Amino acid sequence: MSPVIVLVGPPGSGKSTVAGELATRLGVPHRDTDTAVETEAGRPISDIFVDSGEAHFRKLERAAVSAALQHDGVLSLGGGAILDPETRAELAGHFVVFLDVTLGEAAKRVGLGTSRPLLLGNVRTQMKNLMDARRPLYEEVAALVVSTDGRTPADVSDEILQKL
Ligand code: S3P
């Protein structure tokens, strides 16, 4: 079995919320790689970055993606998971949706009080750098690109289900 739908996109694009909505509507489980990593490590992602570094987090994330892809359901990936070439290769053959969002909207959703380690400092600048560098990778793995700007999770889910 393999996931029905995999959601990718930058932080603040709405992956977890939309994945939850889709899973409820389809009556399938929702898995999230950030949650899986935190459960496996027994500590929050921000602590993993501080104590063990980003490279260690990426290793845990790589394993979490592989494990989650063995199961049926809806899977939301951490925003940087697609940086790993093995992850990108494993996504081939799955229905991958890139949740697109403008910089302003993403920065607003993530907020100044973010606990995301890669966005500390100037959220808007860090976010722009991440989005510019990763856009080609999100586009590479995705079969469908859906904008989430100014839209409810229900509306975004409707569009995805119409194109499934
Ligand atoms: C990251 C995004 C986060 C989380 C970690 C790294 C990134 O997930 O995996 O902080 O590299 O963009 P979200 O996209 O769910 O915020």
Which residues constitute the domain of residue 68?
Answer: 5-163
pLDDT greater at residue 34 or residue 109: 34
Find out whether the beta carbon of 31 lies less than 6 Å from any atom of ligand 1: no
Name the pTM for this structure: 0.94
* HSE-up of residue 147 (Cα within 13 Å, Cβ side): 6
Find out whether the beta carbon of 12 lies less than 6 Å from any atom of ligand 1: no
Q: Residue with the nearest Cα to atom 15 of ligand 1?
A: 78
Residue 34, annotated as binding a ligand: yes
Structurally, how many domains does the chain consist of?
Answer: 1
ipTM of the complex: 0.98
Residue 31, annotated as binding a ligand: no
What CATH number has the domain bearing residue 135? Answer: 3.40.50.300
pLDDT greater at residue 110 or residue 159: 159
28 C-alpha to ligand 1 centroid (Å) = 24
The pLDDT tens digits of the residues spanning 54-111 come to 999 999 999 999 999 999 999 999 999 999 999 999 999 899 999 999 998 998 888 7
